[in-house]
Amino acid sequence: MPKKRGKMRILVLNCGSSSIKYQLIDMETESLMAEGIVEKIGEDIALFTYKSEKYTKKKREMVVDNHEQGLQLILEALIDPANGVLNGLEEIDAVGHRLVHAGEHYSDAVKVTEHVIQVMQECVSLAPLHNPANLKGIEAVKVNMPNCPQCGVFDTAFHQTMPAMAYLYPLPLELYTTYKIRRYGFHGTSHNYVSLKAAEFLQRPLESLKIITCHLGNGASMTAIKNGKSIDTSMGFTPLEGLMMGTRCGDIDPAIPIHLQQQLGLTVDEVNNILNKKSGMLGLSHISNDMREIENEVFVKNNPKAIMALDVYCYRIKKYIGSYFAVLNGLDVLVFTGGVGENMPLLREQVCRDMEAIGIKLDGEENSRRTDGIQVLSTTDSSVTVLKIPTNEELMIARETKRLLS
């Protein structure tokens, strides 16, 4: 809870299966005090990165057996007399977690309680890689900071406003009613954040806007937003559905995995590995899942495989824009965000090319100009405003944590 000093400092954690990303944010100014990552937890050698205004980013190698030890490292760095930014751990008012999956249980940020933990445990089968890691992060805070309030924002929460016609699959209904097989969607915190920033930037009520948000990174998804609510999104039951991604295939004929098993004799695990880790940009290009490398291969080397893979990637985004234009019955704002969406003008140009029929006209010169912050990429006579908006999921989590505890 807020201390007498009148400030609120929130530690935001994003716990993966073998990593902890962190940011310490001063909510009085919404400024970043420190950030970093603990990587390769549980492996022979872990990597610890810490960066603050007065301490240059450095990586240290050490042994970190579990998430409790990882969090302990982070806390020690934050209060280190030489390079820390806090006088003591009591100056951390709350911890905000990025949480992945709670099924249909939550449509808003939550205070972490025993009931929330139970729900997350029940949903482990829906997110077997992410939920156990999130739970380890919550437990690590309990051990290291037993009196510190914890809150969480679920990736799936923003999409709980989707209507049944958007989230139901045309499968036997009992697969939904009994086993909760449905579209959940992910990257919700990012889609929510950039839609709010778009409305703020344009000085228009969010409820008046029809928005399509494109979160493009190694993982990629799109969301149709109407009246400030998610009404459809490209990721589904898992983050495998939807757009072509760095290593994930996105939408394919569902009979293909069956064919791979029956005709090629592949196991379920082998097929899963192909679809999640060997497909997408990496699979089609045979070069890399890193779009910076793909861009170089296209621009510098004119590599036909890279060109083909990028064509498929952009074509699929374009198809989703058309689909969501129909669902929204129009479009006011198209947003590009995420590491790829924010930093790859070539991709944005290719996606928006020949889209005048639905009111999208890109300003080529402005699109090529690399700047920080929000950028208008469309021409003055474009009926759709195209924006580049840097996402900030950590700040969104911190804001939601502050709101819950105020």
Q: What are the tens digits of pLDDT across the range 90-143?
A: 999 999 999 999 999 999 999 999 999 999 999 998 888 789 999 999 999 999
Q: Is the pLDDT of residue 57 over 80?
A: no
User: In degrees, to the nearest 5, what angle opens at C-alpha 39 toward C-alphas 16 and 313?
Assistant: 60
Q: What is the three-class DSSP state of 49?
A: strand
Same domain, 127 and 23: yes
pLDDT tens per residue, range 191-212: 999 999 999 999 999 999 999 9
Strand order in the sheet with 210-216: 229-233, 220-226, 210-216, 333-337, 385-388, 375-376
Asked if the structure places residue 162 within a domain, the reply is no
Last residue of one domain, picked from the residues 123, 154, 185: 154
Asked if the structure places residue 181 within a domain, the reply is no
**How many CA within 13 A on the CB side of residue 281?**
26
Same domain, 218 and 352: yes
Q: Which contiguous run of DSSP H or E holds residue 67?
A: helix 67-78
Confidence of residue 4 (pLDDT cuts 50, 70, 90): very low
Give the separation between CA 198 and CA 213, rounded to whole angstroms: 10
Last residue of one domain, picked from the residues 95, 124, 154: 154
Q: Which contiguous run of DSSP H or E holds residue 182?
A: none
Asked if the structure places residue 365 within a domain, the reply is yes
CB-based contact 214:145 (threshold 8 Å): no
Asked if the structure places residue 159 within a domain, the reply is no
Q: Residue 362 has what DSSP assignment?
A: B
The DSSP annotation for 199-232 comes to HHHHTS-GGG-EEEEEEESSSEEEEEEETTEEEE
Same domain, 322 and 213: yes
Strand order in the sheet with 110-111: 55-62, 46-52, 31-39, 19-26, 9-16, 94-99, 150-154, 110-111
pLDDT tens per residue, range 302-341: 999 999 999 999 999 999 999 999 999 999 999 999 999 9
CB-based contact 190:337 (threshold 8 Å): yes
Find the mean pLDDT for residues 4-11.
77
Residue type, 60: R
In this prediction the pTM is: 0.92
Range of the domain at 69: 9-57+64-154
Same domain, 217 and 354: yes
Say which of 155, 311, 354, 372 is annotated catalytic.
Answer: 155
Same domain, 115 and 217: no
Asked if the structure places residue 2 within a domain, the reply is no
Asked if the structure places residue 186 within a domain, the reply is no
Same domain, 378 and 230: yes
Give the separation between CA 216 and CA 46, rounded to whole angstroms: 28
Compute how many other C-beta atoms are within 10 angstroms of the C-beta atom of residue 372.
7
Find the mean pLDDT for residues 244-257.
97
Our count of domains for the chain comes to 2
Catalytic residue flag (residue 155): yes
Q: Residue 391 has what DSSP assignment?
A: -
Which residue's structure tokens are 């080397």?
A: 301
Find the mean pLDDT for residues 22-50.
95
Same domain, 136 and 215: no
Same domain, 212 and 354: yes
Same domain, 255 and 388: yes
pLDDT tens per residue, range 140-187: 999 999 999 999 999 999 999 999 999 999 999 999 999 999 999 999
Asked if the structure places residue 136 within a domain, the reply is yes
Give Cα separations from 229 to 107, 155, 209, 302, 332 (angstroms): 11, 14, 10, 41, 15
Same domain, 299 and 386: yes
Which CATH number fits the domain that encloses residue 105?
3.30.420.40
Same domain, 145 and 269: no
CB-based contact 292:300 (threshold 8 Å): no
Asked if the structure places residue 228 within a domain, the reply is yes
Q: Is the pLDDT of residue 3 over 50?
A: no
Same domain, 263 and 359: yes
Compute how many other C-beta atoms are within 10 angstroms of the C-beta atom of residue 21.
18
Q: Name the phi and psi angles at 297, rounded to 5.
A: -65, -35
Q: Name the phi and psi angles at 333, rounded to 5.
A: -140, 135
**Burial tier of 102 (Cβ tally within 10 Å: 0-12, 13-18, 19+):** buried
